[in-house]
Structure 1
Amino acid sequence: MARTVPVRLEGDRLVVAPTRGQRLAGLIRGVSVPLGAIGDVRVVPDARGALRGIRAPGLAVPRRTYIGTWRRRGHRELVIARAGAPALRIELTGSRYDAMLLGTADPDGLAARIRDRRTHAPQIVVDSDGERLAGTLRLPAARTGPVPAVLLLPGSGPLDRDSDHRRATLGVTRLLADALADAGVASLRVDKRGTGASTGDFFRTGFLDTTRDAEAALAALAARPEVDAQRIVVAGHSEGAFHAVALGAEHGELAGVVLLSGAAHPAEEVLRYQGRAVLGTLPGPVRALLRLARIDVTALQRKRITALRATTTDVTGHGPLRTNARWFREFLQADPRPQVERLAPLPVLAVTGERDVQVDPADAELIARLTGGEAYRAPGVTHLLRRTPDAGGPSTYRRQSAEPLAEDVVERVVGFVRRVTERPRAADEQG
C-alpha cells in the first residue's frame, strides 16, 4: 500500500486520487474540490496527533497507517496518512468532507502551492434575494491591472460552479475558466442555490430566481477591483444561455455575449425537440421494445408537460422523485427570441454542436441572423461540448465528461472573448 496519497493541482481545483489499495483499505474514493472551497491549510508534524473522532469502517493498520473517514459530531474528515510522518491538514467548505488529512511526498511544498494558487482563485460570496451564493473568481496568473472577465453560467439541474452534478462531473464551466485564465481573462462562476457551498433549496428555486442570481453575480463581478467592469462578457451553457440572453438584453454595456448550446425558440418547443432527438439516440433494441410495448414517448412527454403546468406548489413528488415544479412552470413560459433580438447592439457568439440532442443545432445560425453576430456549428460535438463518434445522447454523458472540451469550441470562445474585450472602452472612445 502506498505511503502517500497522489494529490495534484488542476487549474483551480485540488484533486486527491487515492491508489486502488488506499480506496479498498479505507472504503473511500477520490475527491476534487475548488481551491475557493479551501479554508485553512497547514502542515502537522505527526498525523497521529492530528486525528479527531472515530473512524468509519475501513481496513487501515492501527498506529501505522490511517486511511478512511473520521467522524465526530457535525464533522467528517478524509484521512490518508502515516503515523509518525508529517501530513497536510486542509479545512473545507461546501464539500462532502469538512477537512482532509493527507500524507504527501512534500506537504510543505504542496501547502505553499495551494496558498499561491488560491490567490488566483479566491472564494467570493454573492448575495441574492437573501441567499448567499458561493463562487470562484478565477484570475490569470500574470496581470498588471484590472483585466477583462467572463461570467460563466451553467446548464440546468442541481449543478455547482463547475457544472458538476453529484453523479456526473461535467466540468463545462470549470474547463472554460481554465482556458480563459490561460488567455489572460478572469472569470466568475457560482454554485446554484442549494448546491456546493451556496445556501437555499435547489428544488424550491424558480427559473426566474436563477436569472436574478445571474444578475447578482454580474454585479458582484463588475465590482471586483481585479476586473475591468467595461470589459465583461456573459457566457451561458444550455439553460445558462437563457439567462445570458436575459442579462445581455438588459445590459447594453457588456462587451459581448456567448451562447453555448443555446436555444432561440420557446422552451416548450425545445423540450419537444429533445424528446424527438433523444429518442433517436436510443439503441435499436430499446426503440423496438418501446414500439412492441406501444409506448408513445412523445405522448408521455406531452402528458408530463401538461401535469407540470397544472402544479401550484414549488415542489412535487417525494424523495428521489421530487421535481422542482415552479422552475418548470416558469421555464415553460420562457421564449428567448424577443430578448435575443434585443442583443443586436452587442457582439454575440452562438455555438452548438452538430450532435446536440437537447437544442436544435440550427438555432446557432438563427441567433446569428437575429443579432448580426457569429455562429459556429461544431462538427461531431455534443450538448456537453465534447467531440464524440456516436450519437452523443444523454446515456453517454458520463463517458463524455471524462473527455476534454472540443478544442475548436474552446478556441472560438476564447478568441471571441479576447477580440471583443480588446476593443477600446467607452471612456477611451470619448476621450
Structure 2
Amino acid sequence: MYLALALVLAASPVVDSPAPRLLGELVELKTDTGVLYGTLDLPAKTGPWPVVLLHAGSGPTNRDGNGPLIRTDNLKIVGRALAAKGIAVLRIDKRGVGASTPALAKEEDVRVETYAADVLAWVALLRNDARFTKLGYIGHSEGALIGLVAAKDAKFDAIVSLCGPGRPLQTVLREQLKRGLPDELYKQSDTILTELEAGRTVKDTPKTLAALFRPSVQPYLISMFKNDPAKLATGVKAPFLIVSGSTDIQVSATDAKCLGDANTSAKVVTIEGMNHVLKTVPKTDRTEQLPSYSDPALPLHPKLMPELVGFFKKSLSGK
C-alpha cells in the first residue's frame, strides 16, 4: 500500500477467514541483521505442492495485509484461498514490519534492493524445501515492484502484479498527492519529490508530510525512484499476470496498461468494482472506500480468486 494515502481509521476486531488447516505453519529466515518471519498456508491434501511467495505493499503492512491504520486481512484471505485450491502460500512480514521489525536496525539503511535481496533469500528457502514444486510470486502494490526488481535473479516460474505500479513511484505519488492535498502543500511535496528524484535528501519538510518524507525514509524513496516498473517488466520471461481494480484509488488501471504494453506476453485483467485492498467497492468516492480499509470481515472481490487460481494452476503445473 502506498504511503501517500493517509487514512485515519478505527481498528475493527479481526475476523479470521476459514483456513485450509487449523493453523498456518510459522517459518523463520535467518539473516545477518536478524530473523525474518512468515506464515505458510498449506493445502489440506498431501503434497508436494506448487508454492507462491506473497509480498505486501509499502509501509507497515504485515503478512495479513494489516497495519496500524488499516485492517483488511486481504493477504491472509488470498493465502488461505489459494491453499484451499492446492497451492501453498508463504506470506511474509518484510524486514522492519510485524514480527520482522527487529531485523531492521535503522530505517534509513533500507533500500528497495534490501527487500529484493530478502525475496531472493525466501525463494532459496522455498526451493530447498522438498514439499514444493514450482514457485510463483504475488506482489501487492509496492510488493509488485519489489518482485520485478528481484525477478531476474529469483527466476520465478510465474509472477503476478496485484494492483502494482506500472509507472515510476514518483509519478504515482504525484498523482495521489495532487488529488489529496491543498495546492500549496502539493507544490511543496512536488519540490521535495524533484529533489529526491535527483538523489538529494531534503532536510526541511512540512510536518503534515512527515509520514511520507521523514528524513529516515528518504534514502528508500530515492532508491525506489530509480526503478521504472515498465522497464523491469520487459525482462520478465515467466508467465505474467497483471491485475488491477477499476475502483482502485491508489494505483490505477493505467499502471496495469503500462506493464502490459511493456510486456506483451503478459495477461492484463482489470476487475470491475475492485479497489486497492481487493474488496468490492463500486465507486471511487473516499467515503465509500474507507469502510473497506477497516473491516476484515468483508470478502475479497468475487472475481479475484478465480483469476489467481486459474493462472497458477496453469503456470505452476508439473514439477
TM-score (structure 2 length as normaliser): 0.81
Instruction: Return the alpha-carbon distance in structure 2 between the equivalents of residues 395 and 31 of structure 1.
Output: 20
Equivalence for 2:235: 342
Instruction: Return the alpha-carbon distance in structure 1 between the equivalents of residues 60 and 259 of structure 2.
Output: 27
**Partner secondary structure for residue 251 of structure 2:** coil
Instruction: Return the alpha-carbon distance in structure 1 between the equivalents of residues 38 and 15 of structure 2.
Output: 15
2:220 is the counterpart of 1:327: yes
1:307 CA drift (Å)? 5.4
**Partner secondary structure for residue 177 of structure 2:** helix
Equivalence for 1:244: 147
Instruction: Return the alpha-carbon distance in structure 2 between the equivalents of residues 333 and 364 of structure 1.
Output: 19
1:375 CA drift (Å)? 0.5
CA-to-aligned-CA distance 1:261-301 (integer Å, 9 cap, x gap): 1122222222222234x44xxxxxxx9xx4xxxx3454132
Instruction: Return the alpha-carbon distance in structure 1 between the equivalents of residues 176 and 293 of structure 2.
Output: 18
2:107 to 203, 210, 224: 203
Equivalence for 2:138: 235
Instruction: Return the alpha-carbon distance in structure 1 between the equivalents of residues 165 and 200 of structure 2.
Output: 25
1:190 CA drift (Å)? 1.2
Greater relative contact order structure (CA < 8 Å, 6+ sep):
2
Alpha carbons of 1:397 and 1:191: their partners in 2 closer, same or farther (altered >3 Å)? farther
Corresponding pairs, count: 293
CA-to-aligned-CA distance 1:358-387 (integer Å, 9 cap, x gap): 223122233233321101111122122222
Equivalence for 2:122: 217
Give the structure with higher Rg (CA): 1
**Partner secondary structure for residue 244 of structure 2:** strand
Equivalence for 1:270: 172
1:394 CA drift (Å)? 9.2
1:127 to 14, 30, 36: 30
**Partner secondary structure for residue 362 of structure 1:** helix
Instruction: Return the alpha-carbon distance in structure 1 between the equivalents of residues 39 and 57 of structure 2.
Output: 17
**Partner secondary structure for residue 53 of structure 2:** strand
Equivalence for 1:51: none
RMSD: 3.0
**Partner secondary structure for residue 407 of structure 1:** coil
Pairing of 1:7-406 with structure 2 (within 5 A): 30=13, 117-118=22-23, 121-143=24-46, 145-198=47-100, 199-201=102-104, 203-204=107-108, 205-228=110-133, 231-252=134-155, 254-276=156-178, 278-279=179-180, 290=182, 295-306=183-194, 308=196, 309-311=199-201, 322=214, 324-343=217-236, 345-371=237-263, 372-391=265-284, 393=286, 396-402=289-295, 403-406=298-301
Amino acid at match of 2:309: V
Amino acid at match of 2:241: L
Instruction: Return the alpha-carbon distance in structure 2 between the equivalents of residues 389 and 30 of structure 1.
Output: 24
Conserved in 1, the CA contact under 8 Å of 2:231 and 2:262?
A: no
Amino acid at match of 2:70: A
1:142 CA drift (Å)? 1.2
Amino acid at match of 1:203: E
Percent identity, aligned pairs only, is 27
Conserved in 2, the CA contact under 8 Å of 1:162 and 1:171?
A: yes
Alpha carbons of 1:392 and 1:234: their partners in 2 closer, same or farther (altered >3 Å)? farther
Alpha carbons of 1:311 and 1:129: their partners in 2 closer, same or farther (altered >3 Å)? farther
1:257 CA drift (Å)? 0.5
Which runs of 4 or more aligned residues in structure 1 lie more than 6 Å from their structure 2 counterparts after TM superposition? 31-34
CA-to-aligned-CA distance 1:19-72 (integer Å, 9 cap, x gap): xxxxxxxxxx956799xxxxxxxxxxxxxxxxxxxxxxxxxxxxxxxxxxxxxx
TM-score (structure 1 length as normaliser): 0.61
CA-to-aligned-CA distance 1:50-96 (integer Å, 9 cap, x gap): xxxxxxxxxxxxxxxxxxxxxxxxxxxxxxxxxxxxxxxxxxxxxxx
Conserved in 1, the CA contact under 8 Å of 2:166 and 2:257?
A: no
Instruction: Return the alpha-carbon distance in structure 2 between the equivalents of residues 159 and 414 of structure 1.
Output: 24
Instruction: Return the alpha-carbon distance in structure 2 between the equivalents of residues 394 and 236 of structure 1.
Output: 27
Equivalence for 1:408: 303
**Contiguous gaps of at least 5 residues in structure 1:** 1-28, 35-112, 280-286, 426-431
Give the structure with the higher percent strand.
Answer: 1
Equivalence for 1:41: none
**Contiguous gaps of at least 5 residues in structure 2:** 1-11
Amino acid at match of 1:369: D
Instruction: Return the alpha-carbon distance in structure 1 between the equivalents of residues 15 and 114 of structure 2.
Output: 28
Conserved in 2, the CA contact under 8 Å of 1:249 and 1:339?
A: no
Conserved in 2, the CA contact under 8 Å of 1:154 and 1:172?
A: no
Alpha carbons of 1:324 and 1:418: their partners in 2 closer, same or farther (altered >3 Å)? same
1:338 CA drift (Å)? 2.3
1:185 CA drift (Å)? 0.5
